[in-house]
Chains A and B, each alone.
Chain A
């Protein structure tokens, strides 16, 4: 009986923690990341997760020809700044923020339609005793060209 009670309590704690983390991540994304997309129009899809150092996240999306896009990679607190790169279908690196002072946004125009992959990484630091962890969001916006 004690085992069951312990399991329920553990589950409740984990569930509540996870739900709270998600809510905090959502709040962080809404308040800190979404404004960075302006004046680009948000594609409306939330890509957020709590990542630990060493973790990698990827976003796959079709980018249409003759459009202007902005990618925002937004990290909270101790995991900031994060690295991100854009790769084509063959895995060729098109852009890496490590070559641009770890910027958190990149604007670009596309000449042709293609599936691109945004790869985000949380760099590991030298302190093995402390595991860094925080919310990371990848947002995509496009420009209303007034067609």
Chain B
């Protein structure tokens, strides 16, 4: 991804031409070499949903550990927009973790914390809190709960972008990713067989590449600047995590009709690398939740 050269805004979320894009999952890249044929190339960078990561922790037979979460009582400590956005992400992942582990009472507490944060961030009810009411109504319905959590993120994400609060949208996603990493790096030490969790931590190499492309734009922002050195160090460690991948083949099962991208990816991560990643993630998280 060395192709990010010059960022500019085009399209439906742009407020002016040729200005810097501020969106975590939506970076537009000026492919200057393609200007001659008037082709515009836009690149969106996404992060996996925290639901996917927390579900993996359950599948790895981890026990629910409340001590790992950011206490909801901390919510009153967060005043600045940056701090609120980062902890929106933290609490969002904590909510996913609680719900995945069927901790309904805890889920309600984190729901309240998120509502508090969305109010302080002045995200309108129809985009944030109103969706949260649906969670309360269907808290025991596993099938719909994840959909509602996703809708909440989506509503906040699109509202913030629409209102040129792209950095806030960025910080929410960053906070959510950091909390997922915090849970995974701590839970790995509690498991007899932690290979699945270690594998998932190693796989964050790709997500961190996306994150670094995004935060690079905002390194002067106070909230990002606070943790930029640690993120850079984390990136340096992840660059040393080995990955090899065989060529993908698409196979469709004639009976089930399921199409599979069939290939193998091997990540090589050492204990020293894991320890360093755990340490840096811890340092970043402390700065966010304190």
Q: Which of B12, B47, B173, B206 contacts A25 (CB 8 A)?
A: B12
Is B7 on the interface with A (CB-CB < 8 A)?
no
* B14 closest partner in A (C-beta): A18
Total interface residues in chain B, CB < 8 Å:
66
Within the assembled complex, what's the spacing in Å between the Cα atoms of A30 and B46?
A: 18
* A62-B207 contact, Cβ under 8 Å, with A47-B25, A49-B11, A95-B250: yes
| Chain A interface residue number, banded | 35 or more
Q: By the criterion CB–CB under 8 Å, are B245 and A43 in contact?
A: no
Residues 37-53 of A at the B interface (beta carbon under 8 Å):
41-52
Q: By the criterion CB–CB under 8 Å, are A92 and B248 in contact?
A: yes
Is B58 on the interface with A (CB-CB < 8 A)?
yes
Q: By the criterion CB–CB under 8 Å, are B143 and A111 in contact?
A: no
What is the distance, in angstroms, from A56's C-beta to the closest C-beta of chain B? 5
Residues 246-261 of B at the A interface (beta carbon under 8 Å):
247-248, 250, 258-261
Q: By the criterion CB–CB under 8 Å, are B154 and A45 in contact?
A: yes
Give A54-97 as 1s and 0s: 1 = Cβ < 8 Å from B's Cβ atoms. 11111111111101100000000000000000001110101100
Q: Provide the residues of chain B in CB contact with A98, threshold 8 Å.
A: none
Q: Provide the residues of chain B in CB contact with A111, threshold 8 Å.
A: 260-264
Is A107 on the interface with B (CB-CB < 8 A)?
yes
Q: By the criterion CB–CB under 8 Å, are B162 and A43 in contact?
A: no
* A21 closest partner in B (C-beta): B12
* A54-B153 contact, Cβ under 8 Å, with A47-B44, A111-B262: no
Q: By the criterion CB–CB under 8 Å, are A48 and B150 in contact?
A: no
* A15-B15 contact, Cβ under 8 Å, with A62-B207, A95-B250: yes
Within the assembled complex, what's the spacing in Å between the Cα atoms of A19 and B15?
A: 6
**Among the listed stretches B34-42, B105-113, B280-288, which one makes contact with chain A, having 4 or more residues with CB under 8 Å of it?**
B34-42
A residues in contact (CB < 8 Å) with B: 11, 14-15, 18-19, 21-26, 29-30, 34, 41-52, 54-65, 67-68, 88-90, 92, 94-95, 106-115, 135, 138, 140, 142, 144-147
Would you list 8 pairs from A and B whose C-beta atoms are within 8 A, ordered by A residue?
A18-B15, A24-B12, A46-B154, A47-B44, A52-B38, A58-B41, A59-B46, A109-B261
Would you list the 5 A-B pairs with minimal beta carbon distance, nearest first? Answer: A49-B11, A44-B153, A25-B12, A47-B44, A112-B265
B residues in contact (CB < 8 Å) with A: 1, 10-17, 24-26, 28, 37-49, 51-52, 55-56, 58-59, 142-143, 146-147, 150-154, 157-158, 161-162, 173, 199-200, 203, 206-207, 209-210, 245, 247-248, 250, 258-265, 267
